[in-house]
Chain A
Amino acid sequence: MKFVDEFRDAELGRALAGEILAAVDPRRHYKIMEVCGGHTHSIYKYGVDDLLPSNVELVHGPGCPVCVIPMGRVDDGIALANEPGVIFTCFGDMVRVPGSDQTLLDAKARGADVRIVYSPLDALRIAKQNPEREVVFFAIGFETTAPSTALTLRRAKAEKVKNFSVMCSHVTIVPPLRALLESPDLRLDGFIGPGHVATVVGARPFQFLPDQYGKPVAISGFEPLDLLQSVLMVLRQLADGRAEVENQYARVVPWEGNLRALEIMDEVFALRAHFEWRGLGFISQSALRLSDEYAEWDAELRFSVPGVRVADPKACQCGEVLKGVIKPWECKVFGTACTPERPIGTCMVSPEGACAAYYNYGRFAREREVA
């Protein structure tokens, strides 16, 4: 398959594994965080971690858009979905995220008009097809997805679509990384940077990791060879005593990002003063709202949104998983009360959630076959 098969070459993979083995100091334990949930998924789908020496530990980061949405935000979405005349649209994984007493899928079963869309543009299309109904789009995701929402809002404005609005829950990647590094719970040696976020924002925003925290970074693609190469880049930086942002995914990621995307995001969005992240608590300037210019399309201004803060279930340890403090299998309910079919926590909902990745690919315990 074009653009794919060449990045899954087993022989090259084994050769990279050999280089990685040669690059590590056997007396040292390395903790490298892959920030993006898409990377976590690829690592377990392809068994990338089985090719790593036992002293190289991959720690899973907070870059799963569904996993970081707090329960209260889901409840807010359900409240909007239950408004008379509303068609509530959202991405597929969001319908299964538990709120305090139900999911959006449960709300749909009880009569709410909840529809899954592939893109914000699909939600706008539904609005144009149903001019007598109010169509709300539940916008989630990091900087990868935010430009799609921004472009859709610009279209809604240009085409004067008045029955469309957005419940904006887009988040940004840098503030939670800072929060993690400031946390005393976790010692990290380096980062595998999120390739698709960087396609939009560029590699430059990750420069703070080496500059302020002395941590090496490799912005990575999503295929197995991409990930092995990125691990090797980070390990070589550590071996050389360097800390830089290296761009393994240079075939896609420009250093400056996509300037048009950044420009339209700047027009359509403004930073929220603070936003609650699941498991990480409130982080200042870590999420986006609609700018004043687009206030007319802001669902939170158009409708009454409860905005109640809901504590996560006591049994659920998604917070610790998202911070990389514990591995999924260390959670008390992992694979028993909490499964992809009946998730308690968000990390078990999306395939990119660390818990779902571990569960789906049979990683029920730490013990692994070491190459």
Chain B
Amino acid sequence: MTECVADHGCITCGDVAIPMRVAEIDHRRCLALCESVDGQRESVEIALVEPVRAGEWLLVHAGTALSRAAVQGPLAGAQEPLVAAGREAVA
């Protein structure tokens, strides 16, 4: 998931950002060991989102956390109800 390989496309070139959970933090070096949902671990630059705590979810692109991955259900960005019938299915 966090690979950048020539044969399968590059998530970095593709402007893809993935949610990763903070496992350990190295405040001195501004780095955090983070884990993706499929269990891959990598060192992530956290200067743009500090302070972070272990267990938080970050949105990571090119080894840099760009923001926190906010916990919010689908269709929550709407300023008015978008799907009247499907609304109650959203927790």
Query: Which residues of chain A have a CB within 8 Å of any CB of chain B?
Result: 1-4, 6-7, 9, 11-12, 15-16, 18-19, 36-38, 41, 63-66, 91-96, 105, 116-122, 140-142, 144-145, 147-148, 151, 194, 196-197, 199-200, 221-223, 225-226, 229, 232-233, 246-254, 258, 260-261, 264, 350-352, 356
Contact = CB atoms under 8 A, between A and B. Distances in A.
A172 to B, nearest CB: 13
Contact of B69 (A248, A252, A258, A264): A252
The binding surface of chain B is classed by DSSP as: loop
B37 to A, nearest CB: 5
Given A222-B16, A251-B71, 5 more contacts: A229-B77, A252-B69, A350-B14, A352-B9, A352-B13
Contact of B82 (A64, A145, A229, A261): A229
A65 B76 CA distance: 29
27 contacts: A9-B89, A12-B75, A16-B83, A41-B14, A63-B15, A91-B10, A93-B6, A118-B2, A119-B12, A119-B45, A120-B63, A121-B45, A141-B12, A144-B62, A151-B48, A194-B15, A196-B16, A199-B67, A222-B16, A229-B75, A248-B78, A252-B67, A260-B47, A350-B9, A350-B10, A350-B14, A351-B14
B48 A92 contact: no
B15 A92 contact: no
B73 interface: yes
A199 B17 contact: yes
Interface in B1-30: 2-6, 9-10, 12-17, 19
A147 B86 contact: no
A36 B70 CA distance: 21
A94 B70 contact: no
Contacts of A16: 75, 82-83, 86
Contact of B62 (A36, A119, A264, A350): A119
A225 B15 contact: no
A223 B74 CA distance: 9
Interface of B: 2-6, 9-10, 12-17, 19, 37-38, 42-43, 45, 47-49, 57, 59, 61-64, 66-67, 69-79, 82-83, 85-86, 89-90
A148 B6 contact: no
Given A15-B85, A122-B63, A92 B78 contact: no
A225 B74 contact: yes
Contact of A121 (B2, B10, B63, B77): B63
A112 to B, nearest CB: 15
A18 B5 CA distance: 39
A38 B74 contact: no
Contact of A38 (B14, B19, B38): B14
B37 A4 contact: yes
A41 B14 CA distance: 9
A225 B12 CA distance: 23
A63 to B, nearest CB: 7
A2 B35 CA distance: 13
Contact of B4 (A2, A116, A223, A356): A116
Contact of B3 (A118, A151, A226, A356): A118
A118 B12 contact: yes
Contacts of B37: 1-4
A250 B45 CA distance: 23
Given A91-B13, A197-B15, A116 B5 contact: yes
A145 B15 contact: yes
A37 B74 CA distance: 22
B61 A148 contact: yes
